[in-house]
Amino acid sequence: MIELNIETISIILACGSIIVGVASVVDKNRREIKTREANLFMQSRPNATKEGLKSLQEVMIRQDWTTWDEYKEKYSSKVNPEAAAEVVYITGVFQTWGVLVREKLIDPKLIYRTFPRAPIRYWERLKPYVMGVRELYGNPHEFDAFEWLDNKMKEMLKEEGKGELIKTFKERREI
């Protein structure tokens, strides 16, 4: 039989305390990281103000264009600076989210759980604009994180067995 003396028991208790302490610090650090990710995400999203929501709806529903040429004709910064600013703003928001997720600064689940289809819908809507900008500036990587985020959200929907929720912009617009 193993004989336990006070010294052995003290060593075992000290080791146990160290393990509990380390686990507590690791858990606290993990929660702090998640909190920072959530704060970063909240700071990068469009303001949930009446004006911010109006901009989102303006681009998605009211602006009537489906090609780069139509966009330039009706909503470019020379023709309609306010409408152009809304497109640039919204494209920038999704580009920022894509960069933050791709660089592992925020968990993709934050976006997926909050707005699972928004990156998909807005990518489909703004893809002609993005492709036009890429061609205009000769940069095939312009807004690449936005496109990457679209693919990531589609992948996550399919993983959850919700692939049927991925509909084209045209299908949704007719609803």
Domain borders along the chain are 1-44, 47-173
pLDDT for the residue 38? 64
Q: In this predicted model, what pLDDT tens digit does every residue of 110-133 receive, in sequence order?
A: 888 888 788 999 999 999 999 999
pLDDT for the residue 40? 65
Start-to-end CA distance of the chain, whole Å, equals 77
Radius of gyration of the chain, Cα coordinates, nearest whole angstrom: 24
Between the alpha carbon of residue 134 and those of residues 7, 29, 68, 120, 137, the distances in Å are 71, 41, 11, 19, 5
Q: Which stretches of the chain score pLDDT less than 50? A: 169, 175
pLDDT for the residue 167? 63
Hunting for tokens 């909050």 — which residue is that? 114
Instruction: Determine the angle formed by the axes of helices 81-102 and 118-137, rounding to 10 degrees.
Output: 110
pLDDT for the residue 175? 42
